[in-house]
Chains A and B, each alone.
Chain A
Amino acid sequence: MFRKIISIASNLIRVSFKDKSSILWLFVMPIIWTTLIGAVSSFGSSGSSKIPIAIINSDKGIYGDIYEDVMKNEKDLDIILYSEENFKNVVNMVKETKIASMIYIPENFSDSIINNSDVNITIYKSSSNNSFYIEELVKKITNQIDISSLTGHFVLKNIEKTIILNDLDKKKYFESSFNEALKELTLNNKVSVEYEILSVQKENLILPTGFNATSPGFGVMFVMMGAFFTAVVLAEEREMNILSRLLTTPITKIVVLSGKLLGVFCVTIIQFLFIIFFGQFILGVNWGNSPLSVLLIAISFTLSAVGLGTILSSIVKTSAQASALTILISIVTSMIGGAWWPIEIMPKYLQNIAKFTPQYWAINGFNKIILRGFGLKEIMPNFSILIIYAIVSLLIASIFFRYE
């Protein structure tokens, strides 16, 4: 009996790997997708490309230049200076998102600082740009300049309580206290906020992006798709009466089904391991903290995906229907399950819905291993839930599976 199961399974594996379009979806597409999105979403984290920012400084005095210098010292920014005449062009560049934003220092900037009157730094940001990072940074720098100016004026005011200063002295006292305050704020940083991410790798990313997020996330999505696509083969075989022909041979239904399921499982787990190895060795994702835990989650997730795929293949009428539903279901549930973006950014009710998808438990388990450096003990809840998912879905699949 086992030999028959294995030969049915190995036949399915052979057929799958001969098919060019399944190779495309099983192996090529996950690689392209993970690499592309990983490359893009590393943006804004340390070590990756800098954010391009344009500055137009129409101020005639020294404080506009000082502002520029402080901006230039920010290591995440790539500052490009433009003159006033290019205003329109630069606004266009912002519009076309060639640069992230433009900072405009107005004509009266220095005058306003010296006269202690109100003035605004303007950030030009495209409406299709939803990043708050630049805004926060510019606010911080503006605040530093503001405090320095406040200090300068405060010193002047208190000196003038006792003696009367001429304009030259005023300028001298203001400038020296302004500079001292700015130095204090930007360089010495007596009081600071230290930000430490409790992950295994000690790089401090601004966002949980890059390959560490895309490799497990999209891995899980494409494995789900892979399992579904392979299961679609079952619907196709039913359509072509191959399954009913198999039943005319002296093998039982249970053997046919087990053989097929084993085949689908093998194809999918091979795909999963391929994606994991690709992530580990090509993209440098830290999959290797606890290989056994990774394997357990991979197997249990694959099993549940195979179960769900088989249920799908018994519900649908034609194989074309099955392929259409495959893409729909696997992409949407993966989005909700947290494969596309960190689950933390979703509204609470969606996060609760997410817990019903197997993807959530797989990604959560992988994050425990990759990001937190946890091992077997901590991923047990994830493993058990996925196994229960697998058992239930495989049971339902085997009850409702139609051979003709």
Chain B
Amino acid sequence: MKKVFLIGLKDLKIRSRDFNAFIMILLMPLILIFVLGLVFQPLYSSKPFIIETAVVNLDNDYISDILIDDVLKSEELSKFINLVFLNDENELKDSIEKGKYAAGIVINENFTKNIVSGKEDKILILADPEQTTKSGVIKNILDTFVLEVLKRSVALDITSKTLIKENLIKQEDLNTLIYQWSNDIENIKSKIGVKLVNEKGEETRGIVAMDYYAVGIGVMYLLFAANSGTESIFEEKRKGTYQRLSIMPVKENSIFSGKVFGIFLLTLTQFILIILITKVFYRVSWGNSFFGLIIMVISSVLCFSGFSIFLASLMKSESQVGSIGSTISMILGFVGGSMWPIFTFPKWLNTISKFTPNRWAIDGFFKLIFENGSVKDIIPHSSILILMTIIFYSIGLTIFRLKEKRGV
């Protein structure tokens, strides 16, 4: 037992001095988490980007003036909408095609008159194909504005129609009444609202991109780390140090277990470092349940070490582990939800993802972080991970034994 321990520790020591391993399994995930967090933070928080918007206003009447002065130039929206005025639709089209503006708004001639007289009309948004997220925001704003306009016209229209039909007012009184009604409607507050809550029924505070990717990328790189450990088994066999160990008074089983223990230690150290560094420097919250976190960390580290042994049993050389191993790590990471939220997946992909250890590890960590979960919430996740560990490890070991017997 002591020998197993010593071999494992020694392997960890060797790897920790290896500059390439340092880049691959520690620096790389930290940089990825940082970049992803930096890029996506504005999307998760309510701090939006600047939207360059051009307006061609051919109407210049009071409804379009309200849109421009009271909505688009309002204190709230002017923080992120940069408004420019152009005179001509062709000029607008031209500059959007060049990518100068994210969106262009065209308000037709007689827009106000048409609406007041109940004729159909529309506001046109021209969008830059490279900036449709931004122009989508403009579309939402205009949709809301149009609803506000419709509110007045629909309410006035239906009220006057009904009252005339019932002979309660006369046609000639309509003009004075409409003026008065418009004022009345301005003062009616909306009664039906929308409340947004998370699954626990709390009002949501918005999630931090850095937290999301710290978990996603952290889990994805567990396999990279474990693979870099298994590579060393092949490397030692190639360089003959493994064989040299076997002439020592150490059992073959102990050597192998020692190596496996080394992989576990390496992966564990990497993950703990990632958790610590992201906690201290990126201010990632890893949840409030310390024991829950420990259970999740150990079960996922065990699972990925097992998976790596299983992979190694199928490979012939360290370079195979390097290339095929990284390919599989990336694909598993993607399918398991490290980069994209699972709910955007088509159903078939969602089903497949449940066969990856990544999915269970990520779900478990999310439970702790975003839902303030405790130990009992993550028991299903860690049990599945442990079950997978046993399966991977026994298959891997069996194949290794078979190979050994055949003298490969």
A119 to B115: give the CA distance in the assembly, Å. Answer: 30
Residues in A with CB closer than 8 Å to B136 are: 206-207
Contact code string B9-23 (vs A, CB < 8 Å = 1, else 0): 000000000011101
A318 to B154: give the CA distance in the assembly, Å. Answer: 74
Cβ of A386 < 8 Å from any Cβ of B?
no
Residues in B with CB closer than 8 Å to A100 are: 343
Interface footprint category on B: 35 or more
Partner of B370, one of A91, A128, A149, A321: A128
> Would B32 and A331 count as touching, CB distance under 8 A?
yes
> Would A95 and B199 count as touching, CB distance under 8 A?
yes
Contact code string A116-130 (vs B, CB < 8 Å = 1, else 0): 111111111111111
Residues in A with CB closer than 8 Å to B115 are: 190-191
A116 to B327: give the CA distance in the assembly, Å. Answer: 60
- The interface stretch among B43-51, B272-280, B397-405 is B43-51
> Would B130 and A151 count as touching, CB distance under 8 A?
no
Cβ of B73 < 8 Å from any Cβ of A?
no
Report the minimal beta-carbon distance from A139 to chain B, rounded to whole angstroms.
5
A33 to B36: give the CA distance in the assembly, Å. Answer: 18
Given contacts A39-B346, A130-B44, A193-B142, whether A147 and B151 have CB atoms under 8 Å apart is yes
Contact code string A87-122 (vs B, CB < 8 Å = 1, else 0): 000011011111110000000000011001111111
Cβ of B125 < 8 Å from any Cβ of A?
yes
Report the minimal beta-carbon distance from B248 to chain A, rounded to whole angstroms.
28
Residues in B with CB closer than 8 Å to A303 are: none
Cβ of B374 < 8 Å from any Cβ of A?
no
Given contacts A130-B207, A346-B39, whether A195 and B139 have CB atoms under 8 Å apart is yes
Partner of A119, one of B154, B192, B324, B347: B192
> Would B194 and A194 count as touching, CB distance under 8 A?
no
Given contacts A36-B335, A197-B132, whether A332 and B31 have CB atoms under 8 Å apart is yes
Given contacts A154-B155, A177-B158, whether A198 and B207 have CB atoms under 8 Å apart is no
Q: How many A-B residue pairs have CB under 8 A?
A: 311
> Would B150 and A191 count as touching, CB distance under 8 A?
yes
Cβ of A208 < 8 Å from any Cβ of B?
yes
- The interface stretch among B160-168, B252-260, B288-296, B302-310 is B160-168
Contact code string A308-322 (vs B, CB < 8 Å = 1, else 0): 000000000010110
Cβ of A396 < 8 Å from any Cβ of B?
no
Which A residues form the contact surface with B (CB < 8 A)?
21, 24-25, 28-29, 32-33, 36-37, 39-41, 43-44, 49, 91-92, 94-100, 112-113, 116-131, 135-136, 138-140, 142-147, 149-151, 154-155, 158-159, 162-163, 173, 176-177, 180-181, 184-185, 190-199, 205-208, 318, 320-321, 323-325, 327-328, 331-332, 335-336, 341-348, 350, 367, 371-372
Q: List 15 A-B contacts (CB under 8 A).
A: A118-B191, A125-B197, A142-B194, A147-B147, A150-B190, A177-B158, A181-B155, A191-B121, A194-B125, A195-B135, A195-B139, A198-B127, A208-B129, A342-B131, A345-B49
Which B residues form the contact surface with A (CB < 8 A)?
19-21, 23-24, 27-28, 31-32, 35-36, 38-40, 42-44, 49-50, 93, 96-97, 102, 115, 118-136, 139-140, 142-144, 146-147, 149-151, 153-155, 157-159, 162-163, 166, 168, 181, 184-185, 188, 190-199, 201, 204, 207, 212, 319-320, 322-324, 326-327, 330-331, 334-335, 340-347, 349-350, 363, 366, 370-371
- 8 further A-B pairs in the complex, CB-CB below 8 A; given A190-B115, A198-B97: A21-B323, A40-B340, A94-B199, A126-B343, A155-B159, A194-B122, A197-B127, A325-B23
